């Protein structure tokens, strides 16, 4: 079992949120307090919108045929 020393920072994260927790307890009795929270604000696709459809694939096909 891991022992986390007093005042150590613990990072917990995934693709959407990251937490920095500080151990306010001791190595044997954890007491994790939230130090900092980071969240990714990613709106839904239809809210992001887009420009008109691209034409990059047409250029690619043209260069292969030459």
pLDDT exceeds cutoff 70 at 59: no
Q: How far apart are CA 20 and CA 9, in angstroms?
A: 6
pLDDT exceeds cutoff 80 at 57: no
- Predicted confidence (pLDDT) per residue in 14-26, tens digit: 988 999 999 999 9
Which long-range CB contacts under 8 A does 35-40 form with residues at least 24 apart?
A: 35/9, 40/15, 40/16
Q: Which residues contact 64 (CB under 8 A, 6 or more apart)?
A: none
The structure tokens listed for 27 are 């190595």
Q: How far apart are CA 14 and CA 37, in angstroms?
A: 12
The residue with greater pLDDT, 60 or 6, is 6
- Predicted confidence (pLDDT) per residue in 33-48, tens digit: 999 999 988 878 777 7
């Amino acid at each position: 079992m891991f022992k986390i020393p007093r005042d150590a920072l613990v990072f917990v994260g995934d693709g959407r949120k990251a937490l920095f927790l500080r151990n306010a307890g001791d190595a044997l009795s954890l007491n994790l307090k939230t130090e900092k929270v980071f969240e990714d604000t990613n709106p839904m696709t239809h809210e992001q919108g887009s420009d008109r459809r691209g034409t990059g694939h047409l250029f690619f096909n043209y260069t292969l045929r030459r």
